[in-house]
Structures are given as structure tokens and as C-alpha cells.
């Protein structure tokens, strides 16, 4: 359970670094954001939701059965799109309307 | 790098801006002009248990129910050992705090008549993905409230036996905070990471409870001599395998039953369903070779599967990702379940500060609310709001006539030196991580962790006690290269103190009252004759003193005597 940060896409806005509940994200020597403690990630996706540049990818560790699929999010007004990409590049999107309660 | 002291003062200091802390701050702003500082280890926007969200409010008085029926549910689930005064005063506020949250923007499902739609007899359905940001935004509206993000509080400031503030350090600058307050509210949450977790490798922090809640509030109280209660009632959650995501969404949402590998519904074989029995029955089925156990979801409708996927994204996204990654969702495959490592968390069980009805701890000037406060299980999110409100109102009443005061400079210098010695150059035989592993291994092997089926006996606990004391001694020699590592050192030390007290509580209760949560192999039966009482503790001069206290009933107003 952790995240990977694509340094090409990271624009170093710093929002993810501020929000991480474990204080795990820091600015690296090149001015980009790095996860300094990948094993300490809780998997809450707070950073993923802050990243408008799709730079933060959330994935399941191999010890949890992960197979290389990852997800990121995109905010659009009241909508939160969860974009899930499998290792072959296949995409699945689940959209949640934040103004609607869960059915369960 | 060495830290330098900076003094600041306020009327009320709140330590931790999670569920209870935010609601306490909002309540103070609503009821007074008191100046508030919130000291938060991370950032208020997503800190605490609710970072990823929550997908139902599990403590609500639905139509046809009353605070009394909620209290009766808690009493039954807790086998009678509950502070009825605390549970009842909490239950009385569940609906008003919920209304407040709806007014602040929380989405709650309503029917055509405008009534909340219930999920079972105590739960209502929400979209709680943004519950934490709603709280943070409301806290930010008060001009009297200052949030100190990324400040790790290490200990209370004590003057003449009273709590008069707290010490802490910044994670960004070399600042050692000396914060004076007329009253302090502790809302730091419970303790995870005491025991070896379900995923001990790379995904070690993929646990149910926040891995960043490391028992700081308990440990500060323990070190200051505060009385604690019911640590032996550990919380062990029944969760989805690997992701450790909640199971209630499936069990209550679509009515899924627990089945073993033979397809048999086993829970009813173990007596009246209770929180601990749902777990214990699963542990026993595995022990008897009938695992894995599952929630029976196979064959649910496609729309049910889709709604479950959404519900989990709003709370525990790993579960949805796992279903999609596997290509086998709950309609195709039953959901495997397992028990977590034990946590100490007063929002679910009775572990925490021994407080009076006003949520005052046994240390004057110090209040506690939420997961860190004991005696009142099944608070959940709304109960933590309720306690935050009660503690806030009590603290506002207390500060009238109080003055800010400071300890002697010698005392401040001593506390600063304590922190700085971890930052000094020099060799350290062990790393923080090594001591953390040693602690979790010890607790797992000898204090009833996952590997021992949650069971312990006196001889095992003695081994645990000795080793935890050794690790506490070793922790004094740890070294930090930076402020993040300094935080890690304090997290491990805090968990060692919580473990030390927990072991004594487990030793003290000579019965088995809550299967799995407290499974004493030396005394495998429940003993109502002798043990319908609270096990409390206090650390004095390095020794843990155990106190047994009589039950407090619903209409009593409990006040501390002989502090």
C-alpha cells in the first residue's frame, strides 16, 4: 500500500506535502515531491485528491495482492472521478457525486 | 541541529485536530470568546481517523429508539462494564451533533419525508469522504482559533499538580514549543502499532486504525500520573482480508452473513451476536480448520456491487481497487475476512482516560474526549463529536478565573534538554524501526496478538512486561538525524508506555469478559461475581498501581475524589 509520484508530472505545488496525515511527503533535492517513507503510507488517498496534475498514483503493495494496477483522481465540481489504470493501460472510471450519500 | 524554546500562550489548548478536537474547537468558538490553539501533528485538513472519509454515522438515535436504548446496546455489547453516565450523556447529544454536521455541509441520505434513512437501528447513511475537510473549514472560520500544523506535542506542562499547557516541537523548524493554557483538551485519538500488524512487510501501515495515532495522549497522561481505565478491553476489528477495510458496509449494507469455508453461517453458533463475538467466532472457525471465513456476497446484483465499490472509495479505496484489480468483485467472489491486530481505542471500547461526567481527567486543568477518553465504548464518530462538545463546554467553564502560568525556567530547560538529547551526535546501537519491530513482536508473542489467537496468560505477560521495560530503557539512547525521525522516536516511546500499562491491565482482570478482546487463558470464564468493575491504573514513581473501581450508573454524576 503506497503511492508513487511521477516527477515529470509533479509541478511542486506542495499541496500533497501539506495534507499527508503521516507527514511522509517531502521536497527532494530537485525541487520535486518525494514520498520519503513509502512503507509508512496508510493509503488514505488524501494526497491523490490534492494532485491536479495526475502525478500521484496509488497502488496496492504486492504483499496485499497488488498486480500493478494504480489509480488517481480528478475533481470536477461536485464530481470526483476515480481513474483506475491496469498494467496494460486499460482504463476504468468510477464517478462519485459528492452531493449524494452512499447507498450502503 | 538543536531546538530552541519559544513560549506562547492561549486560553485553551486542544491537542489533536481529529474528530473530537475539531468539534471541541467549533464548540468553543460557538460558545465563548476564548482563544484557542490547536496543536496538530500533521495537518488539520486530513489528520486523524477520518482522513479517507467515513461512509456511515454508526451512532445515531433513529426513529423509535432513545438514548436509553443506545445505552442498553452499549451495556449489552460491553458485558456490563461501561461508564453509564458517560455513555448516556454522549448518547443524548448524538442527534444534535449530527444536525450540526449537516448544517456544516455533510451529506446525509434522506427519504421523501425528509427523514434520515437508517442503516440498521443505530446508523444513518452519508457521504463522508469530505467529513474532515468540512470540520477543518469550520474551525478556520473562527478568528480566535489558531491551528499549529505539524507540531508534535510530547508532554503536558505541569505546575503545582495542575496541567497548565504542553511541550512540543515543530516538524519544520528547530522550534521547541512551550505552550501555556488555562485548560487543555486532549483529543489525540487511540493507539495503533502496538502489536505486529496484519501486513507486517511493505504494507505494514495498511491497517484499519490510523497508524499515525500512536497513543500520544494516553502516554502523556500516563507519564503525568493520570488515571486510566479499561485498557484490557482491546479493540480488534473484523475486517476485509489484506486491505483491512471495514466490513460493516457489506454486512449491514446488503445483509451479508459470515460463512466459513464449508459455506456454513457460523456466528450464531457462538451465542448472542456482539462486536467481540463476530470476531471471536471467526478466530475459532479458523482455529478449528474451517477457514478462510467470508462475508457471503456471491450472487449480489450488479447495481449492489457498483454501490459497494463507490461506498468503499468514500472510505477505504484499497478495497475497491482490489476488487477491480482482481477482476472479481463481490458479486463473483465472497469477501474474505480476518481479525486485525489489537488496538487501544476508546471510541470503540472502554480504554482511555478515567474522566468524570464533565470529561475532566484526574489531572486538574486537563479534559479528554473521543478515542483517548475511556469508559464509554461505541462512541464512533458522532459520539466523539458529542464528547468534544462536552469537554469544550466544561473547559470554557473552568477557565473563568484561571490565569496562564508557567513552570520554572529550570523545568523548561530540562524538558528542552530531554528532546535535544535525541538530536545530539553520537552512536545509537538500534534504530527507531528496530525498537518498533521488537515492541510489536513482543506484544504479538506474549500479550495476545494475532499469532497467539489473541490469547495470553500470566507467564507470557511477565515476559512482555520485562521486555517492554527493557525497550523503554533502550529508547532513551535513540538518535534522530532530522525532525521527522524525532517524531518517530516519540511515537515509539509513547507506544511503549501504552503497552506497559496495557500489560498490567491484562494481568489484573482475572477472568475473560470479552472474547478475543481480552482472552485470559488462566481464567477462561466470565466472572460476574468478582469482575463487574473497572480496572484502572496510575503510573507513580515508575510503578503501575492498579485500582479496581465500582460501576457508575446512568443517572449518577461522577466526580473525581482524592485526586
Mean pLDDT of B376-396: 98
Collect all residues with Cβ–Cβ distance below 8 Å to B432 and sequence separation of at least 6: B478, B480, B485, B488, B489, B492
Angle (deg, nearest 10), helices B302-313 and B317-326:
140
- In this prediction the pTM is 0.98
pLDDT classification of B562: cutoffs 50, 70, 90? low
* pLDDT over 90 (residue B316): yes
The tens digit of pLDDT for each residue in B402-427 reads: 999 999 999 999 999 999 999 999 88
**Alpha-helix runs per DSSP H in chain A:** 15-19, 46-50
B289-B290-B292 Cα angle (round to 5): 105
- Which residues in chain A have Cβ-Cβ distances shorter than 8 Å to B318? 1, 43, 60, 64
- Asked if B321's CB is within 8 angstroms of A71's CB, the reply is yes
Contact yes or no for A46/A20 (Cβ under 8 A)? yes
- Asked if B43's CB is within 8 angstroms of A65's CB, the reply is no
**Long-range Cβ contacts of B445-451 (<8 Å, 24+ apart):** B447/B195, B447/B499, B447/B502, B447/B503, B447/B506, B448/B234, B448/B342, B448/B506, B448/B519, B449/B195, B449/B196, B449/B341, B449/B342, B450/B195, B450/B196, B450/B198, B450/B339, B450/B340, B450/B341, B451/B196
pLDDT classification of A1: cutoffs 50, 70, 90? low
Mean pLDDT of B332-344: 98
- Asked if A39's CB is within 8 angstroms of B204's CB, the reply is yes
| Among the partner residues B52, B171, B311, nearest to A103 by beta-carbon distance | B311
Length of chain A: 104
Contact yes or no for B386/B67 (Cβ under 8 A)? no
| pLDDT at position B231 | 98
Sheet strand arrangement including A2-5: A2-5, A56-59, A70-76, A79-85, A91-97
CB pairs under 8 A between A and B: 167
List, in sequence order, every residue forming a beta bridge with B186; answer none if it has no partner.
Answer: B15, B368
Residue of B nearest to A84 (CA): B321
Backbone angles phi and psi of B233, in degrees to 5: -85, 80
Tell me the ipTM for this assembly.
0.97
- Asked if B320's CB is within 8 angstroms of A82's CB, the reply is yes
| Among the partner residues B127, B203, B207, nearest to A63 by beta-carbon distance | B203
The tens digit of pLDDT for each residue in B128-183 reads: 999 999 999 999 999 999 999 999 999 999 999 999 999 999 999 999 999 999 99
* pLDDT over 90 (residue B264): yes
Look at residues B541, B455, B563, B465 and name the one whose alpha carbon lies nearest to residue B162.
B563
**Alpha-helix runs per DSSP H in B224-301:** 248-253, 275-287
3-state helix, strand, coil in chain B (%, to 5): 35, 20, 45
Judge residue B481's burial from the number of C-beta atoms within 10 Å of its C-beta, 0-12 exposed, 13-18 middle, 19 or more buried: exposed
- Asked if B56's CB is within 8 angstroms of A96's CB, the reply is no
Which residues, numbered 11 to 30 in chain A, qualify as contacts with chain B under a Cβ-Cβ cut-off of 8 Å? Answer: 18-23, 26
The tens digit of pLDDT for each residue in B500-534 reads: 999 999 999 999 999 999 999 999 999 999 999 99
- Which residues in chain A have Cβ-Cβ distances shorter than 8 Å to B56? 102, 104
Relative to beta strand B175-186, strand B366-368 is parallel
How far away is chain A from the Cα of B479, in angstroms, using its nearest Cα?
18
Which residues, numbered 48 to 87 in chain A, qualify as contacts with chain B under a Cβ-Cβ cut-off of 8 Å? Answer: 58-67, 69, 71, 80, 82, 84, 86
Mutation site for B-interface testing, chosen from A15, A27, A40, A44 by largest number of B Cβ within 10 Å: A44
| pLDDT at position B563 | 56
List, in sequence order, every residue forming a beta bridge with A18; answer none if it has no partner.
Answer: none
| Among the partner residues A18, A101, A104, nearest to B253 by beta-carbon distance | A104
| Among the partner residues A21, A39, A94, nearest to B51 by beta-carbon distance | A21
The tens digit of pLDDT for each residue in B123-139 reads: 999 999 999 999 999 99
Q: What share of chain B has pLDDT > 70, as a percent?
A: 100
The tens digit of pLDDT for each residue in A18-48 reads: 999 999 999 999 989 999 999 999 999 999 9
Length of chain B: 563
Look at residues A91, A58, A56, A98 and name the one whose alpha carbon lies nearest to residue A75.
A98
Task: Give the burial string for B368-397 (b: 16+ CB within 10 Å, else e).
Answer: bbbbbbbbbbbbbbbbbbbbbbbbbbbbbe
Contact yes or no for B447/B453 (Cβ under 8 A)? no
- Which residues in chain B have Cβ-Cβ distances shorter than 8 Å to A46? 45-46, 51-52
Look at residues B232, B234, B214, B227 and name the one whose alpha carbon lies nearest to residue B497.
B214
Relative to beta strand B145-148, strand B107-108 is unpaired
Distance CA B471, CA B194 (A): 13
Contact yes or no for B68/B124 (Cβ under 8 A)? no
| pLDDT at position B318 | 96
- Asked if A36's CB is within 8 angstroms of B210's CB, the reply is no
Collect all residues with Cβ–Cβ distance below 8 Å to B371 and sequence separation of at least 6: B18, B19, B20, B49, B189, B190, B213, B345, B346, B347, B348, B352, B379, B384
Residue of A nearest to B105 (CA): A99
Q: Is A79 helix (H, G, I), strand (E, B) or coil?
A: strand
Collect all residues with Cβ–Cβ distance below 8 Å to B476 and sequence separation of at least 6: none
Residue of B nearest to A25 (CA): B484
The radius of gyration of chain B from alpha carbons, rounded to an integer in Å, stands at 23
Distance CA B348, CA B279 (A): 14
- Asked if B254's CB is within 8 angstroms of A21's CB, the reply is no
The H-or-E segment that residue A73 falls in is strand A70-76
- Which residues in chain B have Cβ-Cβ distances shorter than 8 Å to A94? 309-310, 313, 320
Amino acid at each position: 500500500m503506497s503511492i508513487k509520484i511521477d516527477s515529470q508530472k509533479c509541478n511542486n505545488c506542495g499541496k500533497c506535502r501539506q495534507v499527508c496525515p503521516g507527514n511522509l511527503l517531502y521536497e527532494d533535492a530537485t525541487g520535486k515531491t518525494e514520498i520519503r517513507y513509502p512503507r509508512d503510507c496508510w493509503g488514505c488517498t488524501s494526497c491523490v485528491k490534492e494532485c491536479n496534475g495526475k502525478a500521484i498514483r496509488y497502488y496496492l503493495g504486492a504483499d496485499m495482492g497488488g498486480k500493478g494496477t494504480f489509480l488517481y483522481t480528478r475533481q470536477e465540481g461536485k464530481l470526483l472521478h476515480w481513474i483506475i489504470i491496469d498494467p496494460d493501460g486499460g482504463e476504468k472510471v468510477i464517478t462519485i457525486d459528492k452531493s449524494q450519500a452512499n447507498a450502503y | 541541529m538543536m531546538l530552541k524554546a519559544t513560549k506562547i500562550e492561549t486560553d485553551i489548548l486542544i491537542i489533536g485536530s481529529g474528530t473530537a478536537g475539531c468539534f471541541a474547537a467549533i464548540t468553543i468558538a460557538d460558545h465563548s470568546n476564548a482563544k484557542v490553539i490547536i496543536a496538530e501533528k500533521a495537518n488539520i485538513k486530513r489528520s486523524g481517523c477520518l482522513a479517507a472519509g467515513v461512509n456511515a454515522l454508526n451512532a445515531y438515535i433513529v426513529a423509535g429508539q432513545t438514548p436509553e436504548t443506545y445505552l442498553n446496546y452499549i451495556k449489552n455489547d460491553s458485558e456490563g462494564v461501561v461508564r453509564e453516565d458517560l455513555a448516556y450523556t454522549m448518547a443524548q447529544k448524538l442527534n444534535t451533533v449530527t444536525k450540526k454536521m449537516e448544517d456544516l455541509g455533510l451529506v446525509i441520505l434522506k427519504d421523501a419525508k425528509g427523514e434520515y434513512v437508517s442503516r440498521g437501528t443505530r446508523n444513518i447513511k452519508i457521504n463522508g469522504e469530505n467529513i474532515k475537510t468540512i470540520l477543518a473549514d469550520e474551525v478556520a472560520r473562527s478568528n480566535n482559533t489558531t491551528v499549529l500544523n505539524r507540531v508534535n506535542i510530547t508532554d503536558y506542562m505541569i505546575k503545582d499538580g495542575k496541567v497548565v499547557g504542553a511541550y512540543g516541537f515543530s516538524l519544520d523548524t528547530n522550534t521547541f514549543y512551550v505552550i501555556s493554557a488555562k485548560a487543555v483538551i486532549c483529543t489525540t485519538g487511540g493507539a495503533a502499532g502496538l502489536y505486529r500488524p496484519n501486513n507486517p512487510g511493505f504494507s505494514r501501515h495498511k491497517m484499519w486504525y490510523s497508524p499515525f495515532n500512536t497513543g500520544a495522549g494516553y502516554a502523556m497522561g500516563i507519564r503525568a500520573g493520570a488515571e486510566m481505565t479499561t485498557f484490557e478491553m482491546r479493540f480488534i476489528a473484523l475486517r476485509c482480508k489484506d486491505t483491512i477495510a471495514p466490513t460493516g458496509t457489506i454486512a449491514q449494507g446488503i445483509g451479508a452473513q459470515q460463512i466459513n469455508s464449508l459455506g456454513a453461517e457460523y456466528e450464531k453458533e457462538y451465542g448472542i451476536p456482539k462486536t467481540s463475538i463476530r470476531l471471536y467466532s471467526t478466530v475459532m472457525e479458523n482455529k478449528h480448520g474451517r477457514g478462510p471465513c467470508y462475508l457471503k456476497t456471491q450472487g449480489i446484483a450488479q447495481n449492489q456491487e457498483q454501490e459497494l465499490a463507490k461506498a468503499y472509495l468514500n472510505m477505504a479505496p484499497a478495497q475497491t481497487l482490489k476488487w477491480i484489480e482482481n477482476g472479481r468483485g463481490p458479486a463473483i467472489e465472497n469477501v474474505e475476512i480476518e481479525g486485525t491486530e489489537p488496538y487501544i481505542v476508546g471510541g470503540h471500547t472502554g480504554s482511555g482516560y478515567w474522566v468524570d461526567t464533565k470529561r475532566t481527567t484526574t489531572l486538574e486543568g486537563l479534559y479528554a474526549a473521543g478515542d483517548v477518553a475511556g469508559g464509554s465504548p461505541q462512541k464512533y464518530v458522532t459520539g466523539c463529536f458529542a464528547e468534544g462538545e462536552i469537554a469544550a463546554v466544561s473547559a470554557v467553564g473552568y477557565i473563568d478565573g484561571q490565569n496562564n502560568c508557567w513552570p520554572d525556567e529550570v523545568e523548561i530547560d530540562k524538558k528542552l534538554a530531554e528532546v535535544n538529547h535525541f538530536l545530539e551526535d553520537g552512536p545509537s546501537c538500534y534504530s527507531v524501526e528496530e525498537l518498533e519491530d521488537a515492541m510489536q513482536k513482543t506484544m504479538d508473542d506474549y500479550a495476545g496478538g494475532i499469532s497467539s489467537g489473541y490469547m495470553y496468560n500470566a507467564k507470557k505477560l511477565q515476559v512482555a512486561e520485562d521486555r517492554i521495560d527493557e525497550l523503554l530503557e533502550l529508547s532513551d539512547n535513540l538518535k534522530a538525524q532530522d525532525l521527522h525521525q524525532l517524531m518517530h522516536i516519540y511515537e515509539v516511546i509513547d507506544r511503549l508506555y501504552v503497552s506497559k500499562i496495557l500489560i498490567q491491565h491484562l494481568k489484573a482482570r482475572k477472568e475473560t469478559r470479552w472474547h478475543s478482546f481480552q482472552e485470559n487463558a488462566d481464567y477462561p470464564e466470565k466472572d460476574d461475581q468478582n469482575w463487574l468493575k473497572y480496572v484502572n491504573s496510575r503510573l507513580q514513581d515508575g510503578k503501575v498501581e492498579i485500582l479496581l473501581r465500582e460501576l457508575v450508573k446512568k443517572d449518577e454524576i461522577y466526580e473525581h475524589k482524592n485526586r
